[in-house]
Amino acid sequence: MPSPASAFEFAPPERIVFGPGRVTQAGTLTASLGNSAMLVTGRDLRRAEPVRESFRSAGLNWVEWAVAGEPTVSEVR
C-alpha cells in the first residue's frame, strides 16, 4: 500500500517560453529578471551549451548543477 503524500505547494510559472529556436532567448529572458541564474542540467552537460552561450551573450553570471533524473526535495533545498 502506498504511503500518503506529503504536504506540498506548487506555484506554476507565470510564463512558459517553448518552441524551436527559443533556447537562443534564454539569456535575454533571464536577464530581464536579474543578473544571475542557476542552470540545472541532466547528465549530458553538452546539451546545455546553447543555454550557456545565450547566458554569455546576455552577460549573465550563473552556477550549474548537474543531476541525473528528478532531484529530490532534500537535494533542491
- Per-domain residue ranges for the chain? 36-76
Look at residue 11 and tell me whether its pLDDT is greater than 70.
yes
Determine contact, residues 13/33, Cβ cutoff 8 Å: no
Query: Which amino acid is residue 46, in one-letter code?
Result: R
**What are the tens digits of pLDDT across the range 17-73?**
999 999 999 999 999 999 999 999 988 999 999 999 999 999 999 999 998 888 788
Contacts for 31 with CB less than 8 Å, ≥ 6 apart? 58, 59, 60
Question: Where does residue 41 fall: left (phi above 0), alpha (psi -120 to 50 degrees), or beta otherwise?
Answer: beta
Of the candidates 64, 56, 60, 65, which has an alpha carbon nearest to the alpha carbon of residue 34? 60
